[in-house]
Amino acid sequence: MTSDYTPQELMVAVASREIHDGDLVFVGMRLPILAYAVARNAHAPNARGLFEVGLMRDQPAQGFLGTMGDPPNVAGALWATRMSNVMALMAQGSVDLGFI
């Protein structure tokens, strides 16, 4: 059986389906960023992204993100804090799911 998609494309599609509307999602670099953007645009418009660098967003960044700390991700962020606060939210169980 052949497929018309790459393993990376499949990973983005499957990960995006795990994100539900209203979820607080820990978003890792590269493919997780794409999965978050796909979910927001396809079926979870109220999902919020929590990035390891200490940023929380309720909208995908407007520019290309090579890393989580790139200027397009910082611009328009709901919250900018320290990485330790992000890890504390995860330890408290306040984050619904995460992709590294």
Q: How far apart are CA 15 and CA 88, in angstroms?
A: 23
Is residue 29 packed enough to be buried (19+ CB in 10 Å), middle (13-18) or exposed (0-12)? middle
Distances (CA, A) of 60 to 35, 46, 50, 81: 11, 11, 11, 18
Asked whether the whole model's pTM tops 0.75, one would answer yes
Q: Where are the domains of the chain?
A: 7-99
Please tell me the CATH superfamily of domain 7-99, with its number. Glutaconate Coenzyme A-transferase (3.40.1080.10)
pLDDT tens digits for 1-54? 567 889 999 999 999 999 999 999 999 888 998 999 999 999 999 999 998 889
pLDDT tens digits, 49-72: 998 889 998 887 888 877 778 888
Residues paired with 26 in a beta bridge: 50, 98
